[in-house]
A and B are shown apart, each in its own frame.
Chain A
């Protein structure tokens, strides 16, 4: 069974850092681009970042560019989101998601994790 599970969320002060991880299982991980999407509870979805299957290409939303770094370890079937200089507006549930088509960076998200909550507050 295909599965994604996020971890690493928690409470952090403004200006602080946090590292999220997403563990994948049940599919050929290295063949699929992965994304992060976030959602303020009760609000809509915001795309955050994408990484290609090889890890060689990444793209970020303007709201996180220069502060977040998306990486992957295909030997461990995990992706990570290093979040620095966090702001109150980064508070949200963070989901990792898999692209539906192998070897394409573009595409809809056919598998999502349950999410991990990040709260930025003093």
Chain B
């Protein structure tokens, strides 16, 4: 099983600033990685797939990068609605696996 490790567990950032979230995989793969945003009481929402492709309707301030074992989600200028929990997920190999999440909170 591919283990996904996200860091940091909690990230405190001020609105308008940049946030950088990391995800590391225990095995290397090319780009079968997704990022999701989840707010309390809601289902996850797909932000990024194929490591760097924004999903439909996702603002351009969200960007993804990386390959191999290191992946990054960057939010260029944080808006109030961006404070949430973010999960990475590999869909390269069964069983699919998620990271434990990064909670993005207001500083």
A→B interface (CB under 8 Å): 35, 37, 44-47, 50, 59, 61-62, 95, 100, 106-110, 112-115
B68 to A: closest C-beta gap in Å: 18
Report 29 cross-chain contacts, Cβ distance below 8 Å, ordered by A residue.
A44-B98, A44-B99, A45-B44, A45-B89, A45-B98, A45-B101, A46-B98, A47-B89, A47-B95, A47-B98, A50-B96, A61-B95, A62-B95, A95-B43, A95-B44, A100-B49, A107-B49, A107-B91, A108-B49, A108-B89, A109-B34, A109-B36, A109-B44, A109-B89, A110-B46, A112-B44, A112-B45, A114-B43, A115-B43
How many chain B residues have a CB neighbour from A under 8 Å?
Answer: 24
Interface residues of B (CB under 8 A from A): 32, 34, 36, 42-46, 49-50, 55-56, 87, 89, 91-92, 94-101
- Give chain B residues whose Cβ lies under 8 Å from the Cβ of A113: 43
Q: Is the CB of A110 within 8 A of B95?
A: no
Do A106 and B56 form a contact, CB below 8 Å, given A44-B98, A100-B46, A115-B43? no
